[in-house]
């Protein structure tokens, strides 16, 4: 089995739910407190020892490249001024080995993944969507680490799931469960955003995956649905061949591509912050009295 060494972060979507800011700022650059979402995501990868990241960007998103690059003038200035802590923060963003590939046309997630093919070829890869933030609970393993461990002990592709109810079921890919042993789910079918009646379970697919070396080749052979090809078609095929596993996340998950999810992420991260946590708590308590 090939070792997991690389990760893809697709960050080239149009971000229409966040217009007008996404006209000029790619959605994964939206900041939760002082850090863009995409940096939190890159930091998740430290837990699995992956430092080789391929970020799929849209043609005009130079700002993501700038964020992960060196800014010598700023760093020198912070050093000269003796601002060691700020220097470390600025320097930290270029600790990763990041390659960028451009998706010229926003033709969906699977199209974005295929853009990274020259760097992945037939290797396994972690896939982390650029607008979902996962924060491991104190003492728990990050979701991506659990997925990587399952991949490494089985050689199979593994996807992250969470339980959803009511109308939410139709907002996500849905999995059919064949069995579940020690938290590892054997998946036997995948549906793309089913109606409530069609759904196979309450388990939704969320934006973290570890995909085996055969996936890139399978993506190349897919038939399009309109202008898009669907990753879920590949996942469904893997599940029918008995080669797809899933794990239910224990992390806090924020859909920061959605306005309410974005606000929740900011409020909760502010409450956890050493710097402003106490002030935020007092502010929220006072505010709540007026609601
Ligand atoms: P979304 O499904 O949230 O799409 O993409 P979007 O275009 O970014 O946002 P809305 O729905 O218009 O508001 C999930 C992830 O996949 C990436 C996005 O950048 C996001 O991180 N993506 C999506 C691509 O890289 N390319 C695409 O063609 C579509």
Q: How many beta carbons lie within 10 A of that of residue 100, not counting itself?
A: 17
Helices 277-289, 259-272: crossing angle, 10 deg rounding: 120
Mean per-residue pLDDT over the chain, rounded:
94
C-beta separation of 64 from 93 below 8 A: no
Place of tokens 């990753």: 231
C-beta separation of 219 from 231 below 8 A: yes
Ligand 1 centroid–CA 130 distance in Å is: 8
**Mean of pLDDT values over 24-30:** 93
Tens-digit pLDDT profile for residues 153-178: 999 999 999 999 999 999 999 999 99
Global pTM? 0.94
Nearest to 157, CA basis, from 113, 198, 115: 113
For the four alpha carbons of 215, 216, 220 and 222, in that order, the dihedral sign comes to positive
DSSP structural state of residue 171: G
By alpha-carbon position, which residue is closest to atom 25 of ligand 1? 12
Ligand 1 centroid–CA 158 distance in Å is: 21
Ligand 1 centroid–CA 59 distance in Å is: 14
- Confidence grade of residue 106 (pLDDT, cut at 50, 70, 90): confident
pLDDT reported for residue 267: 97
Preceding peptide of 26 cis, ω within 30°:
no
């Amino acid at each position: 089995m090939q070792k997991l060494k690389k990760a893809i972060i697709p960050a080239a979507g149009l971000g229409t739910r966040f217009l007008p800011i996404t006209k000029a700022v790619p959605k994964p650059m939206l900041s939760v407190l002082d850090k863009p979402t995409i940096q939190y995501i890159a930091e998740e990868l430290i837990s699995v020892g992956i430092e080789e990241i391929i970020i799929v960007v849209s043609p005009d998103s130079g700002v993501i490249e700038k964020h992960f690059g060196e800014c010598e003038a700023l760093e020198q200035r912070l050093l000269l001024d003796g601002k060691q802590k700020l220097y470390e923060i600025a320097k930290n963003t270029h600790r990763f080995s990041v390659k960028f590939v451009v998706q010229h046309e926003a033709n969906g997630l699977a199209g974005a993944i295929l853009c990274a093919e020259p760097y992945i070829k037939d290797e396994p890869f972690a896939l982390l969507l650029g607008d979902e933030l996962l924060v491991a609970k104190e003492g728990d393993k990050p979701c991506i680490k659990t997925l990587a461990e399952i991949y490494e002990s089985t050689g199979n592709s593994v996807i992250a799931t969470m339980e959803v109810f009511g109308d939410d079921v139709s907002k996500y890919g849905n999995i059919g469960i064949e069995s579940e042993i020690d938290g590892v789910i054997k998946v036997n079918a995948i549906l793309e955003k089913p109606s409530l009646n069609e759904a196979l379970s309450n388990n939704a697919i969320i934006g973290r995956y570890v995909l085996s070396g055969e996936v890139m080749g399978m993506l190349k052979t897919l038939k399009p649905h309109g202008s898009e090809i669907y990753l879920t078609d590949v996942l469904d095929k893997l599940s029918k061949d008995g080669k797809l596993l899933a794990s239910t996340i224990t992390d806090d998950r924020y859909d920061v591509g959605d306005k309410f999810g974005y606000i929740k992420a900011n409020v909760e991260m502010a409450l956890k912050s050493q710097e402003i946590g106490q002030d935020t708590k007092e502010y929220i308590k006072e505010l709540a009295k007026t609601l």
